[in-house]
Structure 1
Amino acid sequence: MKYISTRGHVAPQGFIDTVLMGLADDGGLMIPEKIPHVSAATLKEWSTLSYKELFLQVFSLYTNEEIPKEDLKEMVDKSYASFRSPEVTPVKQLNDSLYILELFHGPTFAFKDVALQFMGEFYSYVSKKQNKIIHILGATSGDTGAAAIQGVRGKEGIKICILHPHEKVSKVQELQMTTVDDKNVLNLSVKGNFDDCQKLIKEQFADLDFKSKHNLRAINSINFVRILAQSVYYFYAYFQIEQGDQPKKVNVSVPSGNFGNIFSGFLAKMMGLPIHKLIIATNENNILERFVKSGEYKPGEFRSTHSPSMDIQVASNFERYLYYFLGQDAEKVSAYMNSLQNDGEIVISAEDLVRVQNDFEAHGASNEQGLQLISTYKAEYDYLLDPHTACGVAAYEECNGEDEICISFATAHPAKFNEAIEQCDIEQKFPAEIEQLFAKLQHQLVIDHNKEEIVKELVAFYEQ
């Protein structure tokens, strides 16, 4: 299998080169030339596998045997050794129609750990094999940064710089990043929002001379390996649902900001996983909901919410969906992305909107609705939702139909967002790993949203 760009101007690449490229050199996103199909018989065989075994089966369809099986298995074993659940992503049933997929059992208590622990091992493996220093550059709305830093801290041959929006992440998210004192880690706290940070990251990757000179590698979900790693738990979750003689349709509700997680589900569905509805759950920064309901993809007014990891207006992975929506026509993708850049919006026809609504449903939860659901589910089920998970549950309540089952993703542990939990008059006990963060010193550089100053800090860090 080879990998190509959504914009059509990158020669086909192998798996390792695709991961190392991150953002495609033509500004697009890398995707497989062909999506492998998994038969019903194979799905049945996979249904009894452990999470790690399933991961190996999914990845084997995409790696072109560039990584020996024993090496891949070692990376997978190391990646999930620190997870607090032997199932990696356990499923909990709350009622007859709602299951919760818990994605927060990794070292930083968020779903990003599932992919980024593997990416850390992968980059370390490649650095040793190629005898090259890897410089990772990423932006975070909160969880990606902590998970990425945890995945590579202290590893030889790797340096990582993460940009996060100053005072626009939760305190625990900030502490998870900035209490790390390893010499290969730099935290830049940028006076702006996540979209500002993400735009700068994309610009540096689009500067091919800068990218090559500093050997830049991506950790954000612009990197296809993030998408692929996340697709595994869609299969795993689906297989955990016990179906009787009359199986019900299975929906998935996914808290969504950058469109990476929900696109992983779209990939799994294209591979043959029989998901009925892919439900996009957003907060008040609801560009994705507006697109699904109106056909207009246009950034709106930025709002800070109780679910800061979803406080995103421009969703990077939306371009990957556009590629398939537009019949894998790279020229049309480029035209749409140019429209977004030049006109600030993408607008599709009423006929095309019907097709989008066949792929997705969507619901945006308000801050008030999220807090209400946190209180309600704690009272009725003794289950504490974090504010992002509450958005997913809100979308389940809005979009799940009769005689349908929904798997709603719990993307973070509630301890990461105690600011919201306290507003519900709920006192939670912090895990020891989070509690101890508050006694540690922080290491970060607060910096203006100034490209020249930020690039200066990057260069100094990478060249020291």
Structure 2
Amino acid sequence: MQYISTRGRVEAKGFIDTVLMGLADDGGLMVPAEIPVVAEATLQKWKTLSYEELFLEIFSLYINDEIPIEELRQLVSRSYSSFRTPEVTPVHQLNDSLYILELFHGPTFAFKDVALQFMGEFYSYISKKQNKIIHILGATSGDTGAAAIQGVRGKEGIKICILHPHQKVSKVQELQMTTVDDENVLNLSVKGNFDDCQRVIKELFADLDFKGKYHLRAINSINFVRILAQTVYYFYAYLQINKGDQLPKINFCVPSGNFGNIFSGYLAKRMGLPVNKLIIATNENNILERFVKTGEYKPGEFKSTHSPSMDIQVASNFERYLYYFLGEDTAKVSAYMQDLQQNGKITVSQEDLAKVQQDFAAYGASNEQCLEVIEEYKKTYDYLLDPHTACGIAACKAQASEGEVTVTFATAHPAKFDEAIRLVGITQQFPPQIEHLFTLPQHQKVVEHDKAEIVRELEAFYKL
């Protein structure tokens, strides 16, 4: 298996080099040169596998034997040892047509743990094997930062710096990042929004001299290993629901901001998973909904919502979908991305829009709908949703047809977003791990949205 850039100007790489590169050196995103297809007979055999065993089967299709299977098995075992359930991502049935895939049983109570606890172990493994220091640099709308920090805190040979938008994440998200006092962790609270943070990260990774000098590595979903790790739970959910001989198609409804989680489902579908609809759930920052419905991909006005992890206007992983949508034509991808940079938008033809709508449905939930769904599902099912999952339920109700079975992703524990939960008059009991955060001192530095200032902070941190 070789990996190439969506823009076609990077020599093909192996799996480890792809992970280390993160953002491709030509500004594109790395993708497999070919997507392996899983036969229906193989899916039937996978039904009896544990989550960790399934992870090994899927990753084995992509890693080129670059990691001995027993060493990979140990990495996977360590990655999921901190999860609060042996299923890792258990499936909860609400009614005959709706299942919830709970992705919040990791150490930071969010779906990002599923991929990032593995990435932390994987980077540590590479650092020791190659005897090289690794500097992880990332931006977060809340959950990625906490999960990434938890995955690498205290690990020898690794330093991590996370940028988050100042006062635009939930209090629990902020505490999960900033109460960590390990020497290899730096939190920069940027006066701006997530897109501002993400823009700086992309510019620094595009600066090949700076990237090379400081051995920068990506933790965001621009890194393909994040996408691949998330693909595992699509297969797992499907196989948990379909225990019989038949393999019917089902829908997946996914709260999405940066397009990474939903793209993992698109990858799973191309691998042969029988998916009916991939439903993109957004909030009022609904660039993805507008693209699916109109064919225009254009960042709009940023809005702060009750679901801050989806308060994103520029979806990094959209370029990966564009690559496949355009028939894997890297020249066309480059032209489209240049058009986005110069004109601030991408527009596809009505004919091409029909192709998009074969791949995805989409729905953007308002703040009011989000709160209404939280209240409704607590009363009807005694099940408390976090606001991102509530957006997913709203999208499911709008886009799923009668008689269809849908899996909606619960991307975070509701305790991480108590500000929204309290607005509907619900008092929840925090897990003790989260309750404890409020007793700890914080460690962060507030900086301006200024690339030069951020670079100064990074250089000082790397020299420590």
Residue 244 of structure 1: CA displacement? Answer: 6.2
Q: Distance in 1 between matches of 2:272 and 2:306?
A: 35
Residue 130 of structure 1: CA displacement? Answer: 0.3
8 Å Cα contact 1:249/1:403 also seen in 2: no
Q: How does 1:31-430 map to 2 (within 5 A)?
A: 31-242=31-242, 249-430=249-430
* 1:310-332 deviations in Å (ceiling 9; x for gaps): 00000000000000000000000
Q: Distance in 2 between matches of 1:135 and 1:246?
A: 47
Residue 386 of structure 1: CA displacement? Answer: 0.1
Q: Alpha carbons of 1:441 and 1:381: their partners in 2 closer, same or farther (altered >3 Å)?
A: same
Q: Distance in 2 between matches of 1:160 and 1:338?
A: 31
Q: Distance in 1 between matches of 2:326 and 2:246?
A: 36
Q: Distance in 2 between matches of 1:3 and 1:414?
A: 37
Q: Alpha carbons of 1:445 and 1:415: their partners in 2 closer, same or farther (altered >3 Å)?
A: same
8 Å Cα contact 1:248/1:405 also seen in 2: no
Partner SS state of residue 52, structure 1: helix
Q: Distance in 1 between matches of 2:192 and 2:357?
A: 33
Q: Alpha carbons of 1:185 and 1:249: their partners in 2 closer, same or farther (altered >3 Å)?
A: same
* 1:55-82 deviations in Å (ceiling 9; x for gaps): 0000000000000001100000000000
Residue 47 of structure 1: CA displacement? Answer: 1.4
The count of residues paired between Structure 1 and Structure 2 equals: 464
Q: Distance in 2 between matches of 1:164 and 1:449?
A: 11
Q: Distance in 2 between matches of 1:389 and 1:344?
A: 30
Partner SS state of residue 276, structure 1: strand
Unaligned runs of 5+ in 2: none
- Structure 1 outlier segments of 4+, above 3 Å: 242-249
* 1:423-461 deviations in Å (ceiling 9; x for gaps): 010000000000000010000000110110010000110
1:4 aligns to 2:4 (yes or no): yes
Unaligned runs of 5+ in 1: none
8 Å Cα contact 2:47/2:243 also seen in 1: no
Q: Distance in 1 between matches of 2:377 and 2:365?
A: 15
Q: Distance in 2 between matches of 1:248 and 1:41?
A: 14
Residue 247 of structure 1: CA displacement? Answer: 6.6
The letter of the residue matching 1:30 is M
The residue number in structure 2 matching 1:445 is: 445
8 Å Cα contact 2:253/2:409 also seen in 1: yes
Q: Distance in 2 between matches of 1:246 and 1:370?
A: 35
Q: Distance in 2 between matches of 1:392 and 1:65?
A: 37
Q: Distance in 2 between matches of 1:99 and 1:457?
A: 45
8 Å Cα contact 1:248/1:403 also seen in 2: no
8 Å Cα contact 2:164/2:189 also seen in 1: yes
The letter of the residue matching 1:329 is D
Partner SS state of residue 75, structure 1: helix
Q: Distance in 1 between matches of 2:379 and 2:313?
A: 33
Q: Distance in 1 between matches of 2:15 and 2:245?
A: 41
Residue 240 of structure 1: CA displacement? Answer: 1.1
Q: Distance in 2 between matches of 1:160 and 1:246?
A: 46
Partner SS state of residue 89, structure 1: coil
* 1:189-233 deviations in Å (ceiling 9; x for gaps): 000000000000000000000000000000000000000000000
Q: Distance in 1 between matches of 2:315 and 2:243?
A: 35
Q: Distance in 1 between matches of 2:9 and 2:242?
A: 45
Residue 248 of structure 1: CA displacement? Answer: 5.1
8 Å Cα contact 2:247/2:274 also seen in 1: no
8 Å Cα contact 1:253/1:408 also seen in 2: yes
Residue 54 of structure 1: CA displacement? Answer: 0.0
Q: TM-score, normalised by structure 2?
A: 0.99
Partner SS state of residue 408, structure 1: strand
Q: Alpha carbons of 1:270 and 1:452: their partners in 2 closer, same or farther (altered >3 Å)?
A: same
* 1:159-180 deviations in Å (ceiling 9; x for gaps): 0000000000000000000000
Q: TM-score, normalised by structure 1?
A: 0.99
8 Å Cα contact 1:22/1:30 also seen in 2: yes
Residue 337 of structure 1: CA displacement? Answer: 0.3
The letter of the residue matching 1:66 is E
The letter of the residue matching 1:216 is L
Q: Alpha carbons of 1:422 and 1:43: their partners in 2 closer, same or farther (altered >3 Å)?
A: same
Residue 402 of structure 1: CA displacement? Answer: 1.6
The letter of the residue matching 2:132 is K
